[in-house]
Structure 1
Amino acid sequence: MTTLRHEAIVPVTAAGRRFDQTVAEMFPDYSRSRLSGWIKDGKVLLDGARAAPRQLVRGGEKVELEAELENEVHAQAEDIALDIRFEDNDLMVVDKPMGLVVHPGAGNPTGTMLNALLHHNPGLAELPRGGIVHRLDKDTAGLMVVAKTLAAHTRLVEMLSLHEVRRQYEAVVLGTMVAGGTVDEPIGRHQHDRLKQGVRDVIDGGKESVTHYRVRERFRAHSLIQCNLETGRTHQIRVHMAHIGHPLVGDQLYGNGLRLPRGASQELIDALRGFRRQALHAEKLGFDHPITGEYLEFDSPRPADQDALIEALRADTVLHPIED
C-alpha cells in the first residue's frame, strides 16, 4: 500500500459549498467515490478535524488528505509481449492481438493482457482494474488505452462516459446492407443465457447503448461496415448488429450460422467456413490526452485473417457482380 499526503487551502470561491463537493474539485486526480470513502474514514481533515460530507465550508480552511492506495488488483505479473503503440508518464496505447483475454477470470486465471501489463509496469497494480478503462473481447483485435496514473484513470473514465473517446471498428456482417444508420437500443444481460447480452428495456436492466454504422463495401451476401461507438457496453456491436438482422461473420454466440452465396468458389467457402471468430477489429482510437489536452489518434492494421476474408469476398463479387 502506498500513502500520499496532500495539503491545500479551500478557495474563497468555494464558500457555502459542501465539503465533499469542494474536496472533489480540489483533488481531481482521485475519483469522487474514492474521496467519499476517505472522508467517511477520517482520511480527509478540515482544519485538523473530521468533517461530514455535507458540512459547508467557509473558504480559507486547510484540507489535509491522506490518500491510501492499496493494490487494486492481485494478478500475477507475466512476461507476455505487448504491442505498445504509444506510452508516456500518464498512459499507454496497446494494440491487442486476437486471442488475448483482457482480464483474468473463470477459465483464464493467467496469460491475460492484465498479467502482461503488470510485468511491464508493476505500479499499475495500484490502479482500478490495473489501469484498464475499457476492454475488447478475446477474439477482437485492436487498440486500447490504459491509464498509468490515478489522474489519467479518473479523467479517461470520465471521457468515456461523456462519449469523448473516438472508437472506430471494422466488421464483416451477414446480409447485403443498403445504407448506414444508428442502432440506439439499450443492452443488458440476456434473460436466459448468462454468457450473452441482449437488447433489453431500461426498466428491465438495459443500459443506454448507441452504435453508428456505415457501409464501406457490399458483397453478394455480406457487407463490410464501419462502426463508431458512443457507448461501450459488453458485446455492443455484436448485439446491435444481430438485433437488426446482420450478425457478424463467425460470431459463434450471436450469429445465425454459415451463409454461402450461390455458386461460391471453393476459396470463398473455405474462407467463410474457416473464420471461427467474430469478424470485428478495433481499427482506430482517438482522444484528447487526459493531462496535456493534446489530441492523439492511432490506427491498427487489419488482422491477416480478416483481410483474407475480405479479399475472398471481393474476388467472389468480381466473378458474380451485384445487380443494383
Structure 2
Amino acid sequence: MADAGETSLSQANYSFGRPWPELNEGLSYTDTFRCADAETTTTLIEFYSENYKSSAPLPGWIHRIRNGQITVDGQVVTDPDMILREGSKLIYHRLAWQEPSAPHFLQVLYEDEDMVALNKPSGLQVLPKGLFQQRTVLAQLQWKEWKMPPSSRSKRKDVQLHPVPVHRLGRGTSGLLLCAKTKLAKVRLASYFAEGAINAGKKRDETEVGKERKISKFYRALVTGILKNDEDVVTQPIGLVHYPGVAEGLYVACSSGKPAMSKVCVLERLAQQNQSLVQVEIHSGRPHQIRIHLAYIGHPLVDDPLYGIGGQPKFDDLESSSTDVSFAYDGGYERPLQPVPGDCGYHLHAHWLVLYHPTTNKTLKITAPLPHILQTQQERCDQQVDA
C-alpha cells in the first residue's frame, strides 16, 4: 500500500463498556418440521437427537424435553415420544447461564461517521459462539448509544443501529478490531479482507507482497525458540479436521485446506528465554492463521494451549471427555478436557494496520498500544523516557 498521503491516527479517544449481568438471557432455537417420507413417523426426541447431535447426547435431549424446554406450535411438550406433524413449529429454549469471565471495557482508537477502530482486550470474544453468547464485543457495541451529527443522520440512509465488526480476532488475541457504522462501509471493508484471502491463493509472481492492497494488517507475537531467518513467508494452506468439543471442526495446517499467506519478521531474539519477538503481516485471514503458521514453521506461540509444532493440536488422544450419560445441567455436552480454540494464554496482538478509508479513499494508519510483554527493549526504554 502506498505511503503517500498517509494519515496517522494512533491516539485513543475514549473507552466504554457495561459490566456483564450475572446471567445471560438464554437462547431460543426455532425449527419447522418437514417430513421427508409421508409414510414414516418422527418423534420429538428423534428429531432433536438426530439433527443436533453436537448440542447434546440422547439423554441430554430427553432431559431438556422433560424439563419443559421444548414447545411445539406454542405448547410445552414434555413427552419425548410425541409424534411430530408436518409443518409444526418447534422451539428449543436454552436456559440462561453464567458465561465465563471476560473483560468488558473497550478502547476506541479511531472513530468517524463510517467506522470505528477498537482495541480489543485478550479474553473477550468478538461474536456470539458456544458459551459466550452475551459477553462479546458485539453486545457492548449494541448496548452503547452511538450518536451521529444531525446533519449526517438525514443524509446517511445506510447508517446502522450500531457498529458491527467486519473481521474477527481470536478470543485470546488482543488489539485492533475494525467495525463498520454504515452498510456501505461494512460491504467495502469486508471486501478488503476478502480480497486478501483471494490474493493469498495466487502464485507469488502474480501478486507482489503489499502491492495495491486495500488493507495491510500487522501483528506482534511472542514465539518459542530462536528463528534463524530475519524474514520468512509462510504459505501453508489451512483446513478443518475433526476435533472433539468443536462441532464445526478444528482449523490446522492442512495440505487440502484453503490458501493462506503470512510474512514473519524477527524483531528481537531473546536467547536467555529461548523466545523470539516477531511481527507478522497477514495477507489472508484464515481462522487462527498466525497461531497455525508460526507453529507450522516450528515456533508456536509461547503458552499457546492448543497448537504445537507443525500447526497441529498438541494432544494425540482426542477422544471426547463426555459420554452418553455425562452432560451439563442443561443437557449439553460437558466441556472437553483437551484445549479448544477459544482458550487463552498466548501472546498475540493486532498491532497496526494501514487501509484505504471505505468512503474517502484516504490512507489511514491506526495503531493499538502494545502490551508490555510484546514490546522490544528499545520500545520499553522509549516508553520510560516519554513517561
- Normalising by the smaller structure, the TM-score range is 0.5 to 0.7
Where do residues 273-292 of structure 1 align in structure 2 (5 Å cutoff)? Answer: 277-292=345-360
Correspondence for 1:301 among 361, 369, 373: 369
Given candidates 165, 173, 176, the residue that maps to 1:143 is 176
Which one has more relative contact order, counting CA pairs under 8 Å at least 6 apart?
2
The letter of the residue matching 2:192 is M
Q: Cα 1:128–1:217, aligned 2, differ >3 Å: closer, same or farther?
A: farther
Does residue 229 of structure 1 match 2:279?
Answer: no
Contact kept in structure 1, 2:176 and 2:351, CA below 8 Å: yes
After the TM superposition, which residues 79-94 of structure 1 pair with which residues of structure 2 at under 5 Å, given as runs? Answer: 80-94=104-118
Structure 1 residue 197 corresponds to structure 2 residue 251 = yes
Inter-CA distance 248–111: structure 2 relative to 1 (3 Å threshold) = same
Q: Please identify which structure carries the higher helix content.
A: 1
Give the structure 2 partner of residue 181 of structure 1. 232
Which residue number in structure 1 is paired with residue 306 of structure 2? 253
Cα gap change, 1:188/1:130 in structure 2, threshold over 3 Å: closer, same or farther?
Answer: farther
Residues 104, 167 of structure 1: CA spacing in aligned structure 2 closer, same or farther, 3 A cutoff? same
Q: 1:175 to 1:277 in 2, by over 3 A?
A: same
Residue 167 of structure 1 pairs with residue 191 of structure 2: no
Query: Normalising by the residue count of structure 2, what TM-score does the alignment of the two structures yield?
Result: 0.50
Map of 1:100 onto structure 2: 124
Could you list the per-position Cα deviations for residues 257-314 of structure 1 after superposition, in whole angstroms to 9, with x for gaps in the alignment? 8xxxxxxxxxxxxxxxxxx71111111121010111111111111113545xx76xx9
Mapped to 2, the partners of 1:133 and 1:252 lie a distance apart of: 27
Q: CA deviation at 1:186?
A: 1.2
Provide the rounded CA distance (Å) in 2 between the counterparts of 1:217 and 1:106.
37
Hey, what's the Cα distance between the residues in 1 that align with 2:240 and 2:162?
21
State the alpha-carbon separation in 2 of the partners of residues 247 and 136 from structure 1.
18
Indicate if the aligned counterparts of 2:109 and 2:368 stay in contact, CA closer than 8 A: no
1:43 corresponds in structure 2 to: none
Cα displacement (A) at 1:128: 12
Aligned residue for 2:143, secondary structure, equals helix
Deviating above 4 A after TM superposition, structure 1's stretches of 4 or more consecutive aligned residues are: 126-130
Structure 1: how far apart are the matches of 2:139 and 2:180? 15
* 2:215/2:354 contact within 8 Å kept: yes
- Cα offset, 1:190, TM superposition: 2.5
Contact 2:269/2:277 (8 A) holds in 1: yes
Following TM superposition, by how much is the alpha carbon of 1:131 offset from its aligned partner in structure 2, in angstroms?
2.2
Identity of aligned residues (%): 34
Query: Shift in Å at residue 227 of structure 1?
Result: 0.2
Q: Following the alignment from structure 1 to structure 2, what is the Cα–Cα distance between the partners of residues 192 and 130?
A: 33
Whichever residue aligns with residue 347 of structure 2, its letter is A
Among residues 141, 144, 147, which one is paired with 1:117 in the alignment? 141
The Cα of 1:161 is off from its aligned counterpart by: 1.6
- Write the distance in 2 (CA, Å) between the matches of 1:198 and 1:127: 35
Under a length normalisation based on structure 1, what TM-score does the superposition of the two structures give? 0.59
RMSD value over aligned CA atoms?
2.8
Aligned AA (1:208): P
Measure the CA separation in 2 of the matches of 1:185 and 1:140. Answer: 21
Separation (CA, whole Å) in 1 of partners of 2:357 and 2:295: 34
User: CA contact under 8 A between 1:92 and 1:148: conserved in structure 2?
Assistant: yes
Query: Residue 260 of structure 2 is aligned with which of 209, 227, 232?
Result: 209
User: Which amino acid in structure 1 is aligned with residue 276 of structure 2?
Assistant: S
- Give me the whole-angstrom Cα distance separating, in 1, the residues matched to 2:262 and 2:172: 20
Task: Please tell me whether the aligned partners of residues 144 and 285 of structure 1 are also in contact (alpha carbons under 8 angstroms).
Answer: no
Shift of 1:130: 6.0
Query: Shift of the alpha carbon at 1:196?
Result: 3.0
Write the letter of the residue equivalent to 1:178. K
The alpha-carbon distance between structure 1 residues 223 and 80, as it changes in their structure 2 partners (threshold 3 A), is closer
